[in-house]
Structure 1
Amino acid sequence: MNDRKQINAKRFFGLDFLRALSISLLLFSHSSWIYNSTGILGKLQDASGFLAVELFIVLSGFLIGGILYKQFLHENYSLKDAGLFVSRRLMRVLPSYYLVILILTLIYLFFGFSVSEVWKYPLMIQNFSSPIPAFFPESWSLPVKEMGYIFVVILLVMISKIFGKASKPIMFLFVILGLIAFTFLSKLYYDIHSTNLSMTSWSFDIRSVVIYRIDSVLIGVLFGYFYNNYAAFIMSKRKLFFALGILIFIVLFLCIMVFKLRLTNASWFWNILCLPLLSVAICMSIPFLLSWELPSKRIGNGITFICNIAYSIYLVHYSIVLFLLKYFIDTTDFGLWQLNIFAILYVSITVGLSYLFYNYFEKPINQFRAKNLKLNDK
C-alpha cells in the first residue's frame, strides 16, 4: 500500500480526516455553551454537533462491521467467537468510559447532584428505550454503537445454529437488514403514537435512544459488507457514490431549509427518514475518502494526533472540562474577547487532559488489549 494513501499500513488518511473532523465539529458545537450563540452561528453549532455524532456512528459501523463480517465468514462461528468479539470490543471502550463515570460520580456527589440513575451507565442501558438522564448526557452514542454490535453477534450466533448450511454472506445480510427493518418499524410506531412537536424533545426521545438509532450504525455495517464483497466496483465508482452522497445532503438541506419540513407538518420526515438518509449520505462519501492521498507528513501527524486522542476528548470535553470551567468561572458579563480567551482555555485544557488520559490510561490498556486479544479496530 502506498504510504501516501495511508498514515500507516492500517489507517486510511481520508477516514482519519473524517474522524478528526468529527471531534472538531463536536467541540465547536459545545462551545455554544460558552457564547450562548443565537442566529446563524447558533444554528451552525447545532448542525455541527448533529453531524459530528452521526459521522462517528456510521464510520464506526463501517470499520467494525468489516471486521465482524470477515470473522463470521472465515471462522466456524460459535458462541465463543461471538463472546470473544464482544469482549475485545468492550475492552476497547469500557475502561476509559468507566473511569470517566467514576470521576463524574464523584463530581456530582461533591456538588450535591443526584446520582440515582448512574447504575444504568456501566450496563450501557441509560438510553436503551427512553431519553438519557442528565448525568453524562453526551454518552448516548456509545450504547447506540455497542448495543448495535451486540445485537448483531447474538443474532449471528442464533441464525448460524439454525441455518448452519446456508450461505454465510446471505445470513449476515439477513441479520443486518432484519435489524434495520426492526428499527424502522420502531420509529414508525413512535411516529404514529407520538404527539411531540418539539425538536428538543425529538433529540432526546428518538435521536438519542438506542432502539430508534441502531439503524445508523447498522447502515455503516451494511456498507462495510458491500465494500468487502464489491470493493473493486465501489472504488471504481467512488466519485459517483460521493456525488450521490452530496445529492442526498442537498435534498435533506432543501427539505429542512427551503420546504421547511417540521415536526408540526412532517413528523414522518424527522422521526423516520431524516437520520437514516443522513447515514446513507455519509456512507456514500467513504469510498472517496479511502482514495485520499496523504498531502504531507506534517498534516498526517497532526491528523493522527487528533485521532489518537479523539475518544478521550469525547469522554472529558463536556461534562468534566466545560462543566467545571463554567462552574468556577462566571462568564455572564464577559465581552467577546474574554469569551474567546475562555474558549481557547477550554480547548487547550481539553486537548491537554485528553493527551494525558490517552497516553497514561487509554493507550496502555489498548496495547494490552492488542497483545492479548489481537483485534485491531477503531
Structure 2
Amino acid sequence: MIDTSIKTDNRIFGLDVMRAVSIAMVLFSHSTVIYPENDGILSKLKDLSGFFGIELFFILSGFLVGSSIYKLFIYNEYGFGEVKNFLFRRMFRIIPSYYLVLIINIIIYICFAFSLREVWKYFFLMQNVATPIPAFFPESWSLPVKELGYVIAVLLLYVFVTFFSNFSRKKIFFSVIFSMLILSFLAKVNYHFHSDNVDLSVWSQSVRGVMIYRMDSVLAGLLLGCLFFEHPHFFKRNKLLFAGFGLLFFLLFLASVMIFKLRLDNAAWFWNIFCLPLASVIVLMLFPMMLDWKKGPKRLVTPVKFACDISYSVYLIHYSIVLFLMMRLFDLKSYSQSELHIFTLSYLTVTLLLSVVFYHFFEKPINKYRLSNFKLRLINFGKK
C-alpha cells in the first residue's frame, strides 16, 4: 500500500506506526460491510476510519516519495536518465503486484459473468482520472491518485527545468507543486458550481474518489517532505504546536459534521471544496510529532514492521478478492451477530495469511530486484 522499501537503519518508528494505522483503518472500514447497515456508532466509526485512513495513506506516500523527488531535482542534474530511472523505480514498486492482482480480479469477474466494461483503463491507471471508478476492483481508485500525481509532477519538473535552466530550481519546484495544488483546488470549485448532487455516497465516488480532485492530498505530503528536508529543526521544535492545531482542526471537522450538521443539501460548499483539504491539513499536523518518534518499544517494533511490510499486499487482495469471494460463498443474511464476528475474524485471518504469502513470494523478490537495478543516485548536495 505504501512504499516500505526503506533501509532498516533509516526507518522512523513514528512513520511505521502511521503506515500500520493507515492499513488497519482501511481494513476496518471495509470489514464493516459484513454487518447489516445501521446508523449507530459502528457506522460512524467505519466512515471516519475509511476517510482518514486513506488520507493518511496519501499524505504519507507523498511525504516519503516527495523528499526523494526534491533531492533529485534540486541537488542533481535531473536529466532524462535520472527521470526515467526514478519513474521506473517507482513503477516497479507498484505495477507488478498491481497487475497480478488486476488479472486475478479479471478472472474472477469472468467466472461470475460480470461486466468488464472499460477494464483497459485499469492497465494505465486511468480508471478514475476525471470520472468515478467503475464497479470493478473499486479499491484501486487510490493508486491513480497517488501514482499519477507523482508522474505528472516529475514530468512537469523535467519540462520546466529543460526550458528554463537558468531559473532557480527551488523556484521552479515550488511553482510547479503549488500550481498543481491550485489546479486541483480549482477543479473542486468547478465541480461545486456544476453539480447539484446531495447524496454523500455519490460525492464519495465523484469527488473523493477521483484523481483530479484528490491529487492535492498527495502533493501536500510531497510539499511537507520537501519543507521538512530543508527545515527539520523548525518542525522538531514546534511538533507539539502542530499536533495541537491538528487536534483543533479535527474537533472543528467533527463539530461541522456532527454538531452544526453540515450536509450536502445545506452546505455543499463545505463538502465539495473544503472538506478534503481540511482532512489533509489535519493529517499533516501530526507528522512533525511522528517524525520525531525515531525508535519504538522493542515489543512493538517487530509487529509494526510486519504490518508495514505486508500493507500493500493487504491493500490489493483484502476486498475484491478475499472479502468478495467469502461473501459469495457464505450467506451472511442468516448469520447471527456472533456468527458474523466469527466470519469477520476468519476473513481477517485469511487476508493476513494470503498477504504474507503474496509478500514473501512475489512482492518482496520484485522489490529486491527493483532496489538492485533502479538505484537513486542522490549526489552533489551543493545548493543550486
Provide, for residues 176-200 of structure 1, a one-character-per-residue CA deviation record: whole Å limited to 9, x for no partner.
1000000111111110111111100
TM-score computed with the length of structure 2 as normaliser: 0.94
Matched to 2:23, the amino acid is: I
Which position in structure 2 is the counterpart of 1:85?
86
Provide, for residues 24-82 of structure 1, a one-character-per-residue CA deviation record: whole Å limited to 9, x for no partner.
11111111211124211111111111111111001000110001000001111123322
Matched, 1:279 2:280: yes
Q: Which runs of 4+ in 1 moved over 4 A?
A: none
CA distance in 2, matches of 1:270, 1:152: 26
CA distance in 1, matches of 2:89, 2:194: 39
Matches within 5 A, 1:38-49: 38=38, 39-49=40-50
Matched to 1:99, the amino acid is: L
Provide, for residues 100-146 of structure 1, a one-character-per-residue CA deviation record: whole Å limited to 9, x for no partner.
00000000001111112211101000000000000000110100000
**SS of residue in 2 equivalent to 1:121:** helix
Matches within 5 A, 1:33-112: 33-38=33-38, 39-112=40-113
Which position in structure 2 is the counterpart of 1:143?
144
Contact 2:89–2:370, Cα closer than 8 Å, also in 1: yes
Which position in structure 2 is the counterpart of 1:306?
307
Contact 1:25–1:49, Cα closer than 8 Å, also in 2: yes
CA distance in 2, matches of 1:277, 1:222: 16
Contact 2:16–2:304, Cα closer than 8 Å, also in 1: yes
Q: Name the % identity.
A: 47
1:152–1:293 distance in 2 versus 1, CA, 3 Å: closer
**SS of residue in 2 equivalent to 1:60:** helix
**SS of residue in 2 equivalent to 1:217:** helix
Matched to 2:196, the amino acid is: T
1:158–1:293 distance in 2 versus 1, CA, 3 Å: closer
Matched to 1:17, the amino acid is: V
Contact 1:7–1:300, Cα closer than 8 Å, also in 2: no
Matched, 1:356 2:377: no
Q: CA RMSD in A?
A: 1.4
Which position in structure 2 is the counterpart of 1:10?
10
Deviation at 1:162, TM superposition (A): 2.3
**SS of residue in 2 equivalent to 1:131:** coil
Matched to 2:256, the amino acid is: C
**SS of residue in 2 equivalent to 1:260:** coil
**SS of residue in 2 equivalent to 1:196:** coil
Which position in structure 1 is the counterpart of 2:24?
24
Deviation at 1:357, TM superposition (A): 0.1
Contact 2:13–2:296, Cα closer than 8 Å, also in 1: no
The aligned length equals 371
Q: Which runs of 5+ in 1 are unaligned?
A: 1-5
CA distance in 1, matches of 2:308, 2:365: 16
**SS of residue in 1 equivalent to 2:127:** coil
Matched to 2:236, the amino acid is: M
Deviation at 1:291, TM superposition (A): 1.4
Matches within 5 A, 1:182-193: 182-193=183-194
Matched to 1:20, the amino acid is: A
Which position in structure 2 is the counterpart of 1:133?
134
CA distance in 2, matches of 1:345, 1:99: 24
Provide, for residues 237-296 of structure 1, a one-character-per-residue CA deviation record: whole Å limited to 9, x for no partner.
111111111111111111111111111111111111111111122111111001125342
Contact 2:86–2:374, Cα closer than 8 Å, also in 1: no
CA distance in 1, matches of 2:108, 2:237: 52
Q: Which runs of 5+ in 2 are unaligned?
A: 1-5, 378-384
Contact 1:7–1:294, Cα closer than 8 Å, also in 2: no
CA distance in 1, matches of 2:183, 2:119: 28
Which position in structure 2 is the counterpart of 1:329?
330
Deviation at 1:234, TM superposition (A): 1.1
CA distance in 2, matches of 1:375, 1:136: 32
TM-score computed with the length of structure 1 as normaliser: 0.96
Matched to 1:29, the amino acid is: S
Contact 1:7–1:13, Cα closer than 8 Å, also in 2: no
CA distance in 2, matches of 1:94, 1:375: 18
CA distance in 2, matches of 1:7, 1:70: 17
CA distance in 2, matches of 1:279, 1:307: 21
Deviation at 1:8, TM superposition (A): 3.3
Contact 1:246–1:281, Cα closer than 8 Å, also in 2: yes
Contact 2:85–2:376, Cα closer than 8 Å, also in 1: no
Matches within 5 A, 1:175-254: 175-254=176-255
CA distance in 2, matches of 1:46, 1:76: 45
CA distance in 2, matches of 1:41, 1:294: 33
Matched to 1:245, the amino acid is: G
CA distance in 1, matches of 2:129, 2:318: 23
Matched to 1:302, the amino acid is: P
